Homo-oligomer: A and B are copies of this chain.
Amino acid sequence: MSLPHAILTALLEKPSSGLELTRRFDRSIGYFWPATHQQIYRELGKLEQAGFIRALPSERPARGQKKEFEVLPAGRAELTAWASGEQDTKPVRNALVLRLRAAAVVGRAGLDDELRRHLTLHQRQLAEYEEIDSRDFGAVADPEDRLRRLVLRAGIGLETFWVQWLEEALAEVADMDAEADGEAGSGADTGVRAGE
């Protein structure tokens, strides 16, 4: 149940329309809690019905017309309550790591490419985070920004870890392929069927 609270946080930082929220989720908050515009519109509807937010008065409220929301006192209270309690830790799922285990059983065909692809993605994300870091957090003083920087440092740390791990994994796989070549004497056998 974190999406509504992510939205409340975003709206407290700055009242926004559904599409504006969607864009902001693509950048900052969405790094740790991504959401599509469909999820956001649905959740905005629920939050409005619950009395946590309200649409700012507009001349012509209609479909296709921008509709801005702001957080009501009840919404702030809800967020405060949520932020004071315990979060239930959601399980982590990672398909790439799963694939490594599959490769141990059905062979390493294509594994190298996939590791490289992920390495590029993580390097890119890391660069993005570091750019934000140097742009937004030069000399940090106030508590709000210190907390937000902690969030960013989580992102940087995670991406750094993945880059390192992927480089290690690539080296390891290359080494395995080299050994397989040496033993079998064959040429470009990337589809080694280990575990058979």
A contacts, CB < 8 Å to B: 2, 5-6, 8-9, 12-13, 29, 32-34, 76, 79-80, 82-111, 114, 117-118, 121, 142-148, 150-151, 153-154, 157-158, 161, 164-165, 168-169, 172, 176, 179-180, 192, 194-195
A102/B79 in contact, CB under 8 A: yes
A107 contacts across to B, CB distance below 8 A: 80, 83
A151/B76 in contact, CB under 8 A: no
Residue among A87, A111, A150 with max Cβ neighbours from chain B (10 Å): A150
- CB within 8 A of A89: which of B29, B100, B118, B157? B118
A40, chain B: closest CB distance, angstroms: 14
What are 19 contact pairs spanning A and B, CB under 8 A? A12-B195, A13-B105, A29-B98, A29-B101, A32-B98, A82-B99, A82-B102, A83-B111, A84-B110, A97-B151, A97-B154, A100-B147, A100-B148, A100-B151, A108-B143, A108-B147, A143-B192, A157-B164, A157-B165
What is the total number of copies of this protein in its complex? 2
- CB within 8 A of A79: which of B105, B154, B194? B105
A33 contacts across to B, CB distance below 8 A: 93-95, 98
A148/B101 in contact, CB under 8 A: yes
